[in-house]
Structure 1
Amino acid sequence: MSAPAASSPASVPWWKEPTRDQWYAYVAAWLGWTLDAFDFTIFLLIMLPISKEFGVPITEVTFVFTITLWLRLAGATASGWLADRMGRKKPLMISILWYSVCNFIAGFSPTFAFLFFFRALLGIGMGAEWPAGAALAMESWPARSRGFMSGFLQGSWGIGFALSSVAYGFLYDSIGWRGLLWIGIVPALAVVWIRFYVKEPPVWAENKHKQTTEKQEVKLPLFTIFKPKYLFNTLTGVVWMAAAFCVYYSIWALFSTYLQKEMQWTPLMVATPLFWANIVVLFGSMLWGAVSDKYGRRAAIAAPAIIAIFVTPLYLYTQNPTIVILGFILQGLFGGSIYGQNPSYLTERFPTEVRATAAGFVYHQGAIWGGLVAPVISYFAVERGMGFALPMMVATIASLVVVVISILLSPETRGKQFTADIEVFKAAD
């Protein structure tokens, strides 16, 4: 890893350091991720009514969510390759159009199989958005405040989730689950703005030019990250993201179903902890992002993960609505905020010529494991009669422990400067 770079002059506020083009690139990635979150998480809130309308078990409905997550890996790998070969901007635009249209079509589903098909396809576009958006934003942003802005970028998933919670709480009774899916076409409008205002990161453009002129093009970036000099870095990243996905979906995937099915909460009651916890996720991600810029990426991930282990029982071992709400909101600050460094830390761990592919693959292979969480928890909760609270708690705590271990084994990258140099061919493997 490169040595940490010197900080920018203290006389220049960090928010004035980026240029207008850098801000535009960041906003494009931010919009893509926030709206992606809305389209995906709205489904977590309507699984029970879908189960009732089509007459299928809730466990079967959770498999829609699982396949959607699994197809994210395919979309991320393809988009990462395109982003490394042709630029970050076009794959981002394609991905936003893809997931918006799929969500809209799913709202017209005449059968459960139709819904399953288009929500599954949504996963390809959803997975494709992250590597292109993360590379675009992080390569365009100065190193001094990259951790903080990474937290704001990844934490914007919480804004998307909060917006879906508000839509569910206030609109479900009037437009139903189909109307909530139709709203998902709105993100497609962001593509117009990206098309006219966003430019490719200069570091990628220069790197691509060097690959071409020096005839050292990296045509198979996915295979490159499994070469000896990158292997341990890749494997620790894979374990970290697999565990992190399991943490996320142990906390969030079936929490609304738990409140609806076992606690008998109304839509507005369900929306309350989900909305506020996701707002806290945004600010928590920014807080730990600031920590990462000062103390390192590893500290900003491991510390909240450790605290989250002790927070988890607070909202799962009580029937008191007030304690459930407050405990779940508190979890947003810790267990919900361990993801803020995903964009910065994953992009910093790999060289420019394979950055989008590597980050996209490592991040989204975690979706394979995360996709198993909802069916497994629902199996123990419903089929084995254990209820949702205990399986959610065990899965959350166990996964958090793995996150901490994998992070402590990983390299520190705080202050890394992105370069246009062709690093892959620098030294023999």
Structure 2
Amino acid sequence: MGQRRPREAAEAQEDETSPATSVSQHGGAALNGSRDRTADHGAGGHRAAILASFLGWTLDAFDFFLVVFALTAIAQEFHTSDAAIALSITLTLAFRPVGALLFGLLADRYGRRLPLMIDLVFYSVVEVLSGLAPGYRSFLALRALFGIGMGGEWGVGASLAMEKAPTRLRGVLSGLLQEGYAAGYLLAALCYFLVFPRFGWRPMFFVGGLPALLALYVRANVRESEVWERTRHGSWAELARAIAANWRLFCYLTLLMATLNAVSHGTQDMYPTFLQRDWGFAPSGRAALTALSMVGAIVGGIVFGLGSDRVGRRAAMIAAFFGGLALVPVWAFAPSLVLLVCGAVAMQFMVQGAWGVIPAHISELSPDGVRGFLPGFAYQCGVLLASLLVYLEALFAARTSYATSMAMTAAAVFVLAAVVTGLGPERRGVVFGGKRFE
């Protein structure tokens, strides 16, 4: 490994002595302080691993958003209300931590590859069965099971992809991986417009069974993480001790992910209602503008991910948060349709720009021995902590206006996320597994 330049050495010293870095670094393999921005961890087939993880998260999001698009049609067939079907979305979100817990533990005990394949097949089967659900109760049960599969995919896929990715490209590949979520939304919208008018909602869920084929690709083309092979735990007891030793890091990551989820849900979930109530948009117009904003999201994730490889993870995320904060007036109080569209696209460019850094950032913060479990479980626990935000935002909107409620919420969560990010540790460029791959 080459000698550090003075600036890099200063950055490393700052990170290693910051009070926020006092989180436990024991268990499995310790966090390595060494940095090498040219080491290639992906020598063992990193392209296939990154592609598989990206497609897994894309198809996961695709399956999730099918319910969002077809909600009214499902409610009509089951002779129930939209709110009753919306409960299935809540159940999916509520069961995501269960999946992150189960599949994360399996990933740290038995490797990243096998749990990822099992998860892909599991949620694909559940998705097809959702299209065959005979009634409302069975549909709810299946969507809860889907939440387990959805929660399991991100942590396992992200750990595999980041451990395989070349260190110098970890940030930009992180952005590409995370924006699989936005890509999944776009695919779900496309499926809705192409399939639903001709065949109804059930065949849409049959299309959602495609991730099972991705499991075959993983089996044929993706090799196990060399980092896991070198740092694997010999027993469940050893893994449990490693997780317990990092409880403070887990608490910080959960708080960080809660603020990130507050940023995304605070700027996205009420936006279609805002377009309807304040601007009079028809359903097709709301879907079109939301889809357009997701294009901005994909670009933002990649741009800020790339930037984080140069300026640091925290700096890139904080820049995105303050960029979003500056856009709040034009985003919420646009005086014209043109500025409304520009504000929507630019806002998601910033929001998902910050999110694009997350896979690399929290993977680097997590010790080798618990990387399959810790990031994914903290992510999903953060989802739960932020889940009440939309309800509070709606209550505030009822007393003021949607524009005012969204603007105040967005401003608050952007500042909070910037503070939590800035006070936390950073391990940009840390070498996974203790030494570079040859």
Q: TM-score, normalised by structure 2?
A: 0.83
Match of 2:135 in 1: 111
Match of 1:218 in 2: 239
- Report SS of the residue matched to 2:427: coil
Q: Would you say 1:411 and 2:425 are equivalent positions?
A: yes
Q: CA deviation at 1:106?
A: 2.0
- Report SS of the residue matched to 1:5: coil
Query: Equivalent of 2:119, from 76, 82, 95?
Result: 95
Deviation sequence 1:252-308 (CA, Å, 0-9, x none): 234335545775544542332222221221221111111111111101111101111
Query: Equivalent of 2:296, from 280, 283, 289?
Result: 280
Within 5 Å, give how 1:79-158 maps onto structure 2. Answer: 79-158=103-182
Q: Could you tell me how far apart the structure 2 residues matched to 1:175 and 1:260 are? A: 27
- Cα 1:378/1:283, change in 2 over 3 Å: same
Match of 1:8 in 2: 38
Query: Is the 1:280–1:333 contact (alpha carbons within 8 Å) kept by the matching residues of 2?
Result: yes
Match of 1:194 in 2: 218
The one-letter code matched in structure 1 to 2:323 is I
Match of 2:22 in 1: none
Query: Is the 1:146–1:293 contact (alpha carbons within 8 Å) kept by the matching residues of 2?
Result: yes
Deviation sequence 1:294-349 (CA, Å, 0-9, x none): 11110111110111123234333358544333221111210232111221111111
Match of 1:394 in 2: 408
Within 5 Å, give how 1:4-403 maps onto structure 2. Answer: 4-8=34-38, 18-19=42-43, 21-51=45-75, 54=78, 56-208=80-232, 211-212=233-234, 217-226=238-247, 231=248, 233-259=249-275, 265-318=281-334, 320-378=336-394, 384=398, 388-403=402-417
Q: Could you tell me how far apart the structure 1 residues matched to 2:410 and 2:428 are? A: 28
Q: TM-score, normalised by structure 1?
A: 0.85
Unaligned runs of 5+ in 1: 422-429
The one-letter code matched in structure 1 to 2:296 is V
The one-letter code matched in structure 2 to 1:417 is V
**Hey, which bits of structure 1, 4+ residues long, moved more than 6 A?**
none
Match of 2:25 in 1: none
Query: Is the 1:3–1:415 contact (alpha carbons within 8 Å) kept by the matching residues of 2?
Result: no
- Cα 1:129/1:325, change in 2 over 3 Å: same
Q: Could you tell me how far apart the structure 1 residues matched to 2:337 and 2:67 are? A: 23
Query: Is the 2:44–2:223 contact (alpha carbons within 8 Å) kept by the matching residues of 1?
Result: no
Query: Is the 1:69–1:370 contact (alpha carbons within 8 Å) kept by the matching residues of 2?
Result: no
Match of 1:426 in 2: none
The one-letter code matched in structure 2 to 1:163 is L
Q: Could you tell me how far apart the structure 1 residues matched to 2:66 and 2:339 are? A: 25
Q: Could you tell me how far apart the structure 2 residues matched to 1:57 and 1:312 are? A: 34
- Report SS of the residue matched to 2:355: coil
- Cα 1:355/1:409, change in 2 over 3 Å: same
- Number of equivalent positions: 405
Q: Could you tell me how far apart the structure 1 residues matched to 2:298 and 2:177 are? A: 9
**RMSD over equivalenced CA pairs, Å:** 2.8
The one-letter code matched in structure 2 to 1:93 is M
Unaligned runs of 5+ in 2: 1-30
Q: Could you tell me how far apart the structure 1 residues matched to 2:86 and 2:399 are? A: 17
The one-letter code matched in structure 2 to 1:218 is L
- Cα 1:73/1:181, change in 2 over 3 Å: same
Q: Could you tell me how far apart the structure 2 residues matched to 1:48 and 1:146 are? A: 41
Q: Could you tell me how far apart the structure 2 residues matched to 1:160 and 1:127 are? A: 15
The one-letter code matched in structure 2 to 1:26 is I
Deviation sequence 1:216-274 (CA, Å, 0-9, x none): 93245432321xxxx1x333322110111122122223433554577554454233222
Please identify, of 185-194 and 92-101, the stretch whose mean Cα deviation from structure 2 is larger. 92-101
Q: Could you tell me how far apart the structure 2 residues matched to 1:21 and 1:69 are? A: 33
Identity %: 30
- Report SS of the residue matched to 1:218: helix
- Cα 1:393/1:57, change in 2 over 3 Å: farther
Match of 2:5 in 1: none
Please identify, of 67-76 and 412-421, the stretch whose mean Cα deviation from structure 2 is larger. 412-421
Q: Could you tell me how far apart the structure 2 residues matched to 1:368 and 1:337 are? A: 22
- Report SS of the residue matched to 1:251: helix
The one-letter code matched in structure 1 to 2:340 is V
Q: Could you tell me how far apart the structure 2 residues matched to 1:110 and 1:216 are? A: 43
